[in-house]
Amino acid sequence: MKRYCGRDFSSQEIQLLRGLIAQDPTRSRAQLSRLACRVLGWFKPDGGLKQMSCRVAMLRMHEQGLIQLPPPRIRKPDCRIRHTARSDPQPRLARPVYELPPLRLQLINSAQDSALWNEYIDRYHYLGYQPLPGAQLRYFACCQQRILALLGFGAAAWKTAPRDRFIGWTVSQREKNLLLVVNNARFLILPWVQSPNLASKLLSMVARQLPQDWESHYAYRPVLLETFVENQRFRGACYRAANWIYVGQTQGRGKLDRDRTARLPTKSLWLYPLTKYFRSALCSN
């Protein structure tokens, strides 16, 4: 049994994938992943194919010599983000949040907004731009027509001891229900914005809006938010002020550190229940 992208593959299923590849050598990698999803019954909660997860899983099998994929047909694009005048620094804004006009969260839906979100993150977030994993939503936080901050949400960490102890679920329950946990992977207040209490205000707003937006996009409603705060840089004060719950910290190891030798920055882990029944949903069989 091999595990990839949260799914166990039996030796029979890997043999089945080899058969799909040999059946028609003209199939592209994208065609193979779509066909594999249908044959294996690998679907998202909204009924769509888990095509991207399948492509990643098959690529890892290919790298480990378990299957032999056809050569890629499209050259890997240049993923570098160009910085343009659209993301240049703006005039300083220094007003407490209660003095600002009404704030709103704008869901990123267009290619133009997506490119601008990526550009801001790459230019001003200390981690830079990286594609968010799995199901995801991104927001601009706006005041009138001005962008003040950006938020991004994606797939939760596969496993992390402080969160899993707090929830109290079993391994099988985690594997089944992890999609109900959403990770706040990026939160950036633009550097020319100095507005006391803005961060906690936006976190409270997004906790109210995201569940419905997520359900509209993915046909299921998350019950818990998580985020990781790098201890050497931040104290997590805005999460505490927005009533997130501190549950512990990481050990400074990456998810691929099987030899327990990596030393990465430790991070504090914060959770925000989106419903008082979150444990019942997450611990269901």
Nearest to 117 by CA among 21, 185, 15: 185
pLDDT of residue 256: 44
What span, in angstroms and rounded, lies between the C-alpha atoms of 225 and 190? Answer: 23
**Confidence category of residue 262, pLDDT binned at 50, 70, 90:** low
pLDDT of residue 52: 85
* 33 has pLDDT over 60: yes
What span, in angstroms and rounded, lies between the C-alpha atoms of 154 and 222? Answer: 11
**pTM of the entire predicted model:** 0.81
What span, in angstroms and rounded, lies between the C-alpha atoms of 227 and 52? Answer: 23
* Sheet hosting strand 181-189, strand order edge to edge: 103-107, 137-143, 146-155, 181-189, 224-230, 267-273, 245-249
pLDDT, tens only, 211-256: 999 999 999 999 999 999 998 898 899 999 999 999 999 877 654 4
Which amino acid would we find at residue 48? G
pLDDT of residue 253: 60
pLDDT of residue 263: 63
User: What number of other Cβ atoms are within 10 A of residue 275's Cβ?
Assistant: 14
Nearest to 248 by CA among 267, 220, 226: 267
**Confidence category of residue 257, pLDDT binned at 50, 70, 90:** very low
Bridge-based pairing of strands 2-4 and 224-230 is unpaired
pLDDT, tens only, 50-91: 888 899 999 999 999 999 999 988 765 556 889 999 999 999
Bridge-based pairing of strands 2-4 and 7-9 is antiparallel
Which amino acid would we find at residue 46? D
Could you list the beta-strand ranges (E) of 156-223: 181-189
Q: What percent of the chain has pLDDT over 70?
A: 94
pLDDT, tens only, 130-153: 888 888 999 999 999 999 999 999
- Contact between 197 and 148 (Cβ < 8 Å): no
What span, in angstroms and rounded, lies between the C-alpha atoms of 276 and 214? Answer: 18
pLDDT of residue 265: 83
The pair of three-digit structure tokens given for residue 192, joined into one six-digit string: 């020319």
In the chain, the domains with their CATH numbers are 2-63 (no CATH), 85-282 (3.40.630.30)
* 261 has pLDDT over 70: no
Residues 173-178 have a mean pLDDT of 94
DSSP 234: -
